[in-house]
Structure 1
Amino acid sequence: MPTAKRRNPYYQGPVSDHFDGTHFFNPDGIEPLGFRDLMRWQFGGGRDRWPKSVPSLFQPAKPDLHVAGENIRVTMVGHATMLIQVAGLNILTDPVWSDRASPFGFAGPKRVVAPGIAFDDLPPIDLVLVSHNHYDHLDVGTLRRLQATHRPHVVTPLGNDVIIRRAAPKMQVTAMDWGERISLQGIDIYAEPAHHWSARGTGDRRMALWAAFVLATPAGKIYHIGDTGFHDGVNYKAAQQKHDGFRLAILPFGAYEPRWFMKGQHQNPDEAVMGMKLANAAYVAGHHFATFQLTDEAVDAPVKALTTAMIEHGISPERFRPLRAGEVFDVPPA
């Protein structure tokens, strides 16, 4: 358990089972490896070369203004950015429309496929979920654009609200701890544990919290995870016990090689399928692949490995959908 006493620039609060007064941590979990291991990975070779651009199988979507009734519709923008339309609400997850997942406009992982929804074609956005502060999930440029054009309510784990308000001072932001519930615009939102970490630079590692979200809607429950390691399925089992299954889970299954470095923070396709089963999710929208090259595997490797995993675990392909940019998934009834 961390013991450092540096000042946390994002959050001050009581010690808990996942906060030591300065740093957040994964209870009984695997913390991110350090600088020496990072250099070993970066200079150890083995990274597959991605193409500079990848055409999507789908044209950019032009979403309806609203989806109501018993319907749940998910449209893939790219990476972890999706438009969820349910109960008359339009909800964005981890919105990134920037060309790079980076603090710099000239360097860092570059988008290889155009966003599946043009920013100007978005319907009115009511809510935004930001799962943690890594640059491929918390993009201040996109959040500024959303504030200027949509003025959504942003929900995020503890500490990330400070980062967001610094970039967009007028943004309406609610910060949540694990286990908390809020009610907004007719739905309940729960913040639940995920096994990950956070950092915007070299001096703020694990000083803002990371989380998964559960949306309890009139059309059913949705379990959204932006990033997670499998963590022996602990968090999936807890989510199932608390929420009694899900009509839809939104799960990452990419950015997982090399395993010795990524295992604690990013689940692989086989683990994602096991997580689906443990959480008792009827359907899955898969993400976190084929948009930004963050790790070593080939651009098409996650989908190939997912196909193998579904066969091995007896999951039919229509139940776990690896969504491509512009693809629309109308979730069947559970």
Structure 2
Amino acid sequence: MSVTRRRLLSLFGGLAAALGLSAFWASRMRDYRGPVSDHFDGTRFFDPDGSPPKSLAEVLRWQFGPDRQRAKWPAWAPSPYADTPPPRVTGDRLRLSFAGHASWLIQTAGMNILIDPVWSDRASPFSFAGPSRHNAPGIAFDALPHIDTVLVSHGHYDHLDIPTLSRLAAKFSPRVITPLGNDAAMHAADAAIRAEGFDWHDRIELGNGLALTLVPTRHWSSRWLFDRNKALWASFVLETPAGKLYIVCDSGYGDGRHFRRVAEAHGPLRLAILPIGAYEPRWFMRDMHMNPEDAVKALADCGAPQALAHHHGTFQLTDEAIDAPVTALRAALDEAKIPGERFVALQPGQVVEI
């Protein structure tokens, strides 16, 4: 480690302590140690078919450039729905409840699984700054049934929320499945979080006939300035009695090969959960976030007969309007001559049963 970087780390650590940000400091990514692979160079992870994260100069150009056009979201945009899930859903029935952004409760085969749970008021390392919620979670935390398993796709704050994971650990002590390196950050922040790290293509038995495979996705990861890609990111293929679910929490589209490979290796799929938000401006976001037109192409590539949209309408992470993703999704489906009921955008608290 260079002298300059050590000084920056020391300065930032002192600043964090001075501001009472010990929880943020504890949740930063640790240096992962493991064998070199086709997506890990011994220090950082990478996607051989993807793109590296944008540079600091590009971030500054986006944030402060004279041509930036950032839509204004309403201060509060409540959903008219609120779900109170049953304790369990048994057999080959499948119940999916949208909590908001990329958070879902999946119930099937007597198991309750949470995806990227974020119940905090901000998707941020700070409690006093950063993107705040524009609507409440579609399931009140106290209304959650007993949670058996949590899936966390990667380390960005709108997906890996330590305060929520700590609340879940204290109340339910669920098993937490996450890509390599994220588990170390969770353990450092709260030893009670039962996190387990896995690599791309690992298959994990969850119990009651359910199994999970981590698959590559076109994205990246970080928790602060100096830990870019020190932890892995992934999408999930969840095997259930009702069929296979392809859960994409964050991804760019690229040339579509990530989605076609999942179809080839894991098809046929019963349902895809695909992101449609946080995509403007395109010059900056294209490589890491799909827009609705990309998501419609991803649906065709993965071959699922049905899709649910997410990653929109709760946290303003980028520049598009709050309702732009849903409006653009309808237009993209019309352009592709795909029935609207095949790719549905829910509001927090809405439920789909199969």
In the alignment, residue 17 of structure 1 is paired with which amino acid?
D
Which among 206, 214, 225 is matched to residue 191 of structure 1? 214
Aligned to 1:134: 156
In structure 1, the residue matched to 2:291 is 268
Determine helix, strand or coil for the equivalent of 2:306: strand
Aligned partners of 1:167, 1:223: CA distance in 2, in Å? Answer: 29
Deviation >4 Å, runs of 4+: none
Contact 1:147/1:168 (8 A) holds in 2 = no
Question: Secondary structure, in 3 states, of the residue corresponding to 1:165?
Answer: helix
TM-score by length of 2: 0.89
What residue in structure 2 maps to residue 82 of structure 1?
104
Query: In 2, distance between residues paired with 1:117 and 1:277?
Result: 31
Report the alpha carbon displacement of residue 182 of structure 1 after superposing the two structures with TM.
1.3
Aligned partner (choices 54, 58, 61) of residue 37 of structure 1: 58
Aligned to 2:302: 279
AA aligned opposite 1:148: A
Q: Pick from 162, 168, 172 the counterpart of residue 194 of structure 2.
A: 172
Structure 1: tracts of 5 or more residues without a match: 1-5
1:64 alignment partner, SS class: coil
- Alpha-carbon distance between aligned partners in 2 of 1:88 and 1:312, rounded to the nearest angstrom: 40
| CA positional deviation for 1:316 | 1.4
**1:69 Cα deviation from its structure 2 partner:** 2.1
CA distance in 2, matches of 1:198, 1:28: 16
In structure 2, which of residues 35, 42, 46 is the aligned counterpart of residue 21 of structure 1? 42
Q: TM-score, normalised by structure 1?
A: 0.95
Task: Name the Cα RMSD after superposition.
Answer: 1.2
Structure index of larger Rg? 2
CA contact (8 A) 2:116 2:160 kept: yes
Q: Choose 24-33 or 301-310, whichever is displaced more.
A: 24-33
- Please state whether the residue corresponding to 1:214 is helix, strand or coil: strand
Amino acid corresponding to residue 230 of structure 2 in structure 1: M
Deviations, residues 202-251 of structure 1 (Å, cap 9, x unaligned): 01001000000111112210111110001211110000000112111111
DSSP 3-state at the match of 2:290: coil
Of 244, 266, 271 in structure 2, the residue corresponding to residue 221 of structure 1 is 244
Confirm or deny: 8 A CA contact 1:96 1:137 kept in the other structure. yes
Q: For the Cα contact (< 8 Å) 1:226–1:251, is it kept in 2? A: yes
Answer whether contact 1:100 1:110 (CA < 8 A) is retained.
Answer: yes
Give the aligned residue type for 1:259.
R
Whichever residue aligns with residue 313 of structure 1, its letter is A
Task: State the SS of the aligned residue for 1:39.
Answer: helix
Number of positions where the alignment pairs a residue of Structure 1 with one of Structure 2: 324
Q: CA deviation at 1:117?
A: 0.3
User: 57, 62, 66: which one pairs with 2:80?
Assistant: 57
Q: How far 1:188 moved relative to its partner? A: 1.3
| Corresponding position of 1:3 | none
Offset of residue 170 of structure 1: 2.4
Matches within 5 A, 1:1-334: 9-44=30-65, 45-58=68-81, 60-185=82-207, 186-331=209-354
Distance 2:135 2:206 in 1: 33
Give the percent of matched residue pairs that are identical in Structure 1 and Structure 2. 53
Q: For residues 5-59 of structure 1, give each alpha carbon's deviation from its aligned partner in whole angstroms, at most 9, with x where no partner exists.
A: x9x834111111111111111113211111111111001220111111002132x
The residue type paired with residue 57 of structure 1 is P
Contact 1:286 1:321 (C-alpha < 8 Å) held by counterparts: yes
Cα deviations across residues 148-168 of structure 1 (Å, max 9, x unaligned)? 001111000000000111222
> For 1:183, what is the secondary structure of its paired residue?
strand
The CA distance in 2 between the partners of 1:284 and 1:71, in whole Å, is 17
Is there any run of 5+ residues in structure 2 with no aligned partner, and where?
1-5, 7-28
Name the SS for the 2:256 alignment partner: helix
For the residues of structure 2 that align with 1:284 and 1:86, how far apart are their CA atoms? 18
Measured in 2, the distance between the counterparts of 1:311 and 1:69 equals 36
